[in-house]
Amino acid sequence: MIVQKYGGSSLSSIQKIKKIAKNIKKTVHEKLVVVVSAMGKTTNNLTSKAEKICSFPNKRELDALLSTGEQISASLMAMALNKIGVKAISQNAFQLKIKTTNTHGKALIKEINTKKIHKLFEKFDVIVVTGFQGISSKNSITTLGRGGSDTTAVAIATSLHAKCQIFTDVEAICSVNPHLFKEAKKLKTLSYFQALEMASSGAKVLDERALEIATKYGVTIYLGKSLENDHTKGTYVMNKTNIEEVGAKSLSVRENISLFKIETKNISQIVLMLKKLNQNLEMFSIINNNISFICKKSDEKMLEKMLNQVQNIKFEKIENFSRLTLVGFGFVTHPQILTKLENILTKNSIDFSHLILTETTLSFLVNKNKEMEAIKLIAPAFNL
CB atoms near residue 182 (< 10 Å): 9
Q: How far apart are CA 313 and CA 335, in angstroms?
A: 38
pLDDT reported for residue 93: 93
Helices 371-381 & 336-347 angle (0-180, nearest 10): 140
State residue 154's pLDDT score.
Answer: 96
Residue 375: per-residue pLDDT: 96
pLDDT at 29: 80
CA–CA separation, 16 and 203 (whole Å): 25
In this prediction, residue 296 carries a pLDDT of 78
User: For the sheet containing 352-357, what is the strand order?
Assistant: 282-287, 290-296, 247-264, 313-329, 361-367, 352-357
Instruction: Count each helix (H run) and each strand (E run) in the chain, helices first.
Output: 13, 18
Structural domains of the chain sorted by starting position, each given as residue range(s) with its CATH number in brackets: 2-238 (3.40.1160.10), 247-381 (3.30.2130.10)
Residues composing the chain: 384
CA distance 206 to 202: 10
The string of DSSP letters for 290-336 reads EEEEEEEHHHHHHHHHHHHT-SSEEEEEEEEEEEEEEEEE-TTT-TH
Q: Would you give the distance in Å from CA 330 to the centre of its chain?
A: 26
Query: What whole-number distance in Å separates Cα of residue 164 and Cα of residue 221?
Result: 5
Per-residue tens of pLDDT for the chain, all 384 residues = 999 999 988 999 999 999 999 999 988 888 999 999 999 889 999 999 999 998 889 999 999 999 999 999 999 999 999 999 999 999 999 999 999 999 999 899 999 989 999 999 999 999 999 999 999 999 999 999 888 999 999 999 999 999 999 999 889 999 999 989 999 999 999 989 889 989 888 887 788 899 999 999 999 999 999 998 888 899 999 987 555 578 899 999 988 888 888 888 888 888 887 777 766 678 888 888 888 888 877 778 778 888 888 777 888 888 888 999 999 988 999 999 999 999 999 999 999 988 989 988 999 999 999 999 999 999 999 999
**Residue environment code for 229-257, b if the CB has 16+ CB neighbours within 10 A, otherwise e:** eeeeebbbbbeeeeeeeeebbbbbbbbeb
In this structure, the number of other CB atoms found within 10 A of the CB of residue 301 comes to 12
Give the side-chain half-sphere CA count within 13 A for 166: 32
Residues 6+ apart with CB under 8 A from 302: 56, 277, 279
pLDDT at residue 295 in the model: 82
Single-letter amino acid, residue 362: L
User: What is the Cα–Cα distance from 46 to 48, expressed in whole angstroms?
Assistant: 5
Q: What pLDDT is recorded for position 177?
A: 92
CA 31 to chain centre: 27
